[in-house]
Each structure stands twice: as C-alpha cells, then as structure tokens.
Amino acid sequence: MQLPFAGVILLLPGSFHGLVALELTGPRAVSGLRGSSVSVPCQYDEGYQETPKYWCSGIIWQSCSKAVETTGSEAEVKRDRVSIRDNHTLRLFTVTMENLTLGDTGIYWCGINLRSMSDFNSPVSMTVLQGDQLTFVKSFQLTLTSQKKKIKSPHHEMLFSVRVLLFYPISISRLSSTTSCTKNRDITSHTTK
C-alpha cells in the first residue's frame, strides 16, 4: 500500500511575509568600550525600503522597549544617545549608540514595523567593556627543533626537540580600541657534525 505524500508548511511569526521569507539580519553580537560609540548594521530584503525600522532593548522581543524608530524615510532619527538611519538603495539601516555605559550591556533588536502583522526582527547581544580594567593575554609560541644528530655510540641515536609556550598577562590601562596580542615564532636550529 502506497501512502499519499503529506506536506506541512510552518509559518513562524516574524519569519515570513505571506509565503516569502524575509531576511533581516544584523550581527549576533557587538561590543564597545565605555564612553565610545558602536554602530550596528541591519540588512533587509527588497520591498521594505519605506517601512519604518526600529531599535529596541529587552530580552524578549515582544516586550522590548523602542529606543528609536524611523518614519520610513532615509532621514536620520535621533533620541538621546541613539540614532538610526536607513539607506533604501543598500536596504540597510544603521543604529549608532553613543557614549556607551556599562548599563547598555544587554539584548537589543533590529526591527521592521509591519503594523498589520508580526514585525520582522533580529537579536543583537551588546557587551560594553570598561576600558581601564581590560586584561589581555599575550602569547608567544617558541619552537626549537634540531635535525637528527647521531651520537658516536653503538647504543642510541638522539633527536632533540623542544616546544615552549609562554603566557604573559598584560594589564592595559585606558585602552581606546580592542587589540589582539598574539605572536607565533618558529625557530629552527640545525646541529652540524
């Protein structure tokens, strides 16, 4: 007995407009130093250029607090330390938060206000770091290797190889940008006869 094919279409709020999937994407996570600014780009699909865009904060999207919202135009809208500007040609709106505080750490949402249905949204986790308390680990990897050296003895042959990994914690005071401190060095020495 052959069973008929059964298909299921699952429509998730905030994921589909009709049967066309909308891509609203932003970075999953951003970070900035206390007192600095951070800009968050949010990309959207064709057809929503003149739809209002917004930035809100809160763990749950349905109850997030809107910090700023466009009118559907490309004009910048600014409220307190937060601004939003839409570029219809690039289908990209950018949110900028200025003079970051440690209290700005949290979950935010890029959103498109659809009014008659569930909004499209994309979560962004923001971390604000206190610049004068950052500690970085600077690592060096030093590799020393020699070629096989035969010792004039009938009982053994010796191979010399040493690997050293050193970690130096460095305290950086009043850092103005995020820095990665990593150096890798390979040093090879050859033994001569």
pLDDT tens for residues 128-140?
A: 999 765 544 444 4
Q: Say yes or no: 29 and 124 in one domain.
A: yes
Does residue 4 lie in a domain region?
no
Handedness of CA 101, 108, 28, 40 (dihedral sign): negative
| pLDDT score recorded for residue 45 | 95
| pLDDT score recorded for residue 61 | 86
Does residue 8 lie in a domain region?
no
**3-class secondary structure, 103:** helix
Q: Say yes or no: 153 and 124 in one domain.
A: no
- pTM over 0.85, yes/no: no
Distances (CA, A) of 4 to 1, 9, 124: 10, 16, 43
| pLDDT score recorded for residue 23 | 82
Q: Say yes or no: 22 and 86 in one domain.
A: yes
What is the spatial distance between Cα 107 and Cα 60, in angstroms, rounded to a whole number?
A: 8
The pair of structure tokens assigned to 86 is 């839409």
Please tell me the total count of domains within the chain: 2
| pLDDT score recorded for residue 22 | 63
Dihedral of the CA atoms 150, 153, 157, 158 (nearest 10)? -80
What is the spatial distance between Cα 14 and Cα 21, in angstroms, rounded to a whole number?
A: 9
Q: Say yes or no: 116 and 140 in one domain.
A: no
What is the spatial distance between Cα 27 and Cα 31, in angstroms, rounded to a whole number?
A: 11
| pLDDT score recorded for residue 118 | 81
Q: Say yes or no: 41 and 102 in one domain.
A: yes
Q: Say yes or no: 56 and 21 in one domain.
A: yes
Ranges of the chain with pLDDT below 70:
1-22, 132-193
Q: Say yes or no: 120 and 147 in one domain.
A: no
What is the spatial distance between Cα 166 and Cα 28, in angstroms, rounded to a whole number?
A: 33
| pLDDT score recorded for residue 153 | 44
pLDDT single digits (tens) 25-68? 999 999 999 999 999 999 999 999 999 999 999 999 889 999 99
| pLDDT score recorded for residue 116 | 75
| pLDDT score recorded for residue 132 | 64
Boundaries of domain holding 171: 132-188
The pair of structure tokens assigned to 135 is 């500690």
| pLDDT score recorded for residue 106 | 97
What is the spatial distance between Cα 86 and Cα 110, in angstroms, rounded to a whole number?
A: 12
